[in-house]
Amino acid sequence: MSFALDDVGLTHSNGFTALSGITLSAAQGESIALIGPSGAGKTSLLNTLGTGHLPTAGRMTVLGQPVTASIPAKPLKALRSRIGTVYQATPVPLRQRVVTTVLAGRLGQWPLWKALASLAYPQDIAGAREALERVQLQDKLFARCDQLSGGQLQRVGIARVLYQQAELILADEPVSALDPALALATVQLLVQEAAARRATLVASLHAVDLALSCFSRIVGIRGGRIVFDLPAAQVSEARLQALYAGAPNGSPSSRTQAPEPASVMACR
């Protein structure tokens, strides 16, 4: 089992309840897409799985480690080194070199001396270049992050997770700044990477068509609760309309343009 959440809740210190009654589990190697309107709780769920937020109710186990608000620092740090996160806006120092950003994926796995040395001089340039090649950015190896576009920064974040070789990959709107063709190729890459290494992938996507075409399991979230957890083939238009009903920007069809049939086949 990759992770298991049993009636998990998340209430912030200001009293806002971001998640309530979340029961969700995944076998190692599964790929799951999270969909739902803005503010539904998708990012909060990903942050909780990644231990950025610790649950305030219920029980959670991630990669065999029980996670509670009282988990000691050492096992928490060890667990986090096994989890890779792709952010919508990659949180990197903009003056940092791309190679250093990619290699940061393994800082939690390296001994302290190597991690510190890599900050001064990259310790695995070949490994960073290989990861960047997979997202078509090998020519940016020594560029500074502040010289890149938002879409390029997203792909650098993906390269960092590829280099990390995480057991659990969490992706929060990983292709929001990419054009449709590149978004499809990037999601394909994440799904294929997870399948090749039997890593678990959980990705939140606004593009519902991309979720349905690339993922076999779809979890719909609204109001901090799971509305449905179904195989992609069973996610009907009626379920989607109900999930997004009354949300800003309207129905899911107004959020995304349906892909060409060939693109759907390519993702499967």
Nearest to 103 by CA among 189, 167, 162, 186: 162
Compute the average pLDDT of residues 160-166.
95
Q: Share the mean pLDDT of the chain.
A: 89
Quote the strand ranges of the chain, DSSP E: 3-11, 17-26, 31-35, 57-62, 65-67, 83-86, 168-172, 200-204, 217-222, 225-231
Compute the average pLDDT of residues 67-83.
93
3-state secondary structure of 51: coil
Is 106 domain-assigned? no
Is 136 domain-assigned? no
Q: Which residues pair with 84 in a beta bridge?
A: 169
Range of the domain at 248: 1-79+205-268
Separation of alpha carbons 32 and 229, rounded Å:
9
Is 260 domain-assigned? yes
The predicted-structure confidence for 214-242, as pLDDT tens digits, reads as follows 999 999 999 999 999 999 999 999 999 99
pTM flag (> 0.85): yes
Among all chains, which residue has been given the structure tokens 């020519």? 139
Tokens of 170: 């969490």
The predicted-structure confidence for 88-115, as pLDDT tens digits, reads as follows 876 677 788 999 999 988 877 766 667 6
Separation of alpha carbons 41 and 223, rounded Å:
7
Is 181 domain-assigned? no
Tokens of 229: 């957890």
* Tally of structural domains, the chain: 1
Among all chains, which residue has been given the structure tokens 């960073």? 128
